[in-house]
Amino acid sequence: EGTTFVSVVDPGVGSSRKSVVALTKTGQYIVTPDNGTLSYIKKVVGIVAVREISEVENRRSNTELSYTFHGRDVYAYTGAKLASGHISFEEVGPELPVDKILELPVVETIIEDNLVRGAIDILDVRFGSLWTSITRDDFYALEPNFGDRFEVTIFNNDMLVYQNQVTYGKSFADVRIGQPIIYINSLYRVGLAINQGSFAKAYNVGVGSNWHIEIKRLGD
């Protein structure tokens, strides 16, 4: 509680998009552009208030003519002032309706008798692993044991991109080099990887709400 996070994913820097600070239900502050980056936080954690950053008071001095470096000049500056107690949340700027912040579509996880469906949310670009929207608890509804094999199917919209049987393991070393594996990542969500390889490159898989994944328990 009271922690301030600064998020600068801002392809629209310098445009008319708003700069905001959100207060979560758990008492944290998120300093970020209003461009959809708050979507999951609003859905999973909850947001109780949002304020637009007033750049007259909360912008690094002598940067008024810098239009493409708001991460330093606005977000980090405002976040530091808020975290250090130099300003209160109310002093960030005018309040905005929580229901008016920009939200991106969030794919709902579907759990059936022997199947769980979700989306591919993140590509771990360093290793080519896929991080899905399926939580550990959602996956545990299939009662998996390490070493079990599951049928994994990936779609881009309605186009089939990948379908194969994949082993569930604790770590990448649980399968041979070059073999795919289902695992639980550091966010406690289902990941899909290739031991010492890139799953994304091997099968041309992308990320986003149009990339869907199904994990089906195979019959005993």
pLDDT above 80: residue 220: no
pLDDT on residue 69: 86
Say how far apart CA 19 and CA 13 lie, in whole Å: 10
pTM of the model: 0.76
Residues of CATH 2.40.30.90 domain(s) within the chain? 110-217
Nearest by Cα to 50 from 105, 90, 10: 90
Q: Which CATH number fits domain 4-100: 1.10.1060.10, 3.40.50.10790, 3.40.50.2300, 3.30.420.40?
A: 3.40.50.10790
110-217 placed in CATH 2.40.30.90: yes
Q: Which SS3 state, helix, strand or coil, does residue 21 take? A: strand
What mean pLDDT do residues 85-94 have?
96
Return left, alpha or beta for 72; rule: phi > 0 is left, psi -120 to 50 is alpha, else beta: alpha
pLDDT at 111 over 90: yes
pLDDT, position 156: 96
pLDDT confidence of residue 113: 86
Please, where in the chain does CATH 3.40.50.10790 lie? 4-100
Dist CA 202 CA 199 (whole Å): 5
Q: Enter the tokens of residue 88.
A: 């209160």
Amino acid, res. 219: G
CA angle, 131 as apex, 167 and 135 as ends, to 5°? 80
E runs forming strands in 109-207 = 110-111, 115-124, 129-135, 149-156, 159-168, 180-184, 189-194
**Per-residue pLDDT, 209:** 87
pLDDT, tens digit, 9 for 90 and up, residues 26-71 = 999 999 999 999 998 998 899 999 999 998 899 998 888 888 888 8
Beta strand ranges found along the chain (DSSP E): 4-6, 19-24, 29-33, 47-52, 95-96, 110-111, 115-124, 129-135, 149-156, 159-168, 180-184, 189-194, 208-217
CA distance 174 to 171: 6
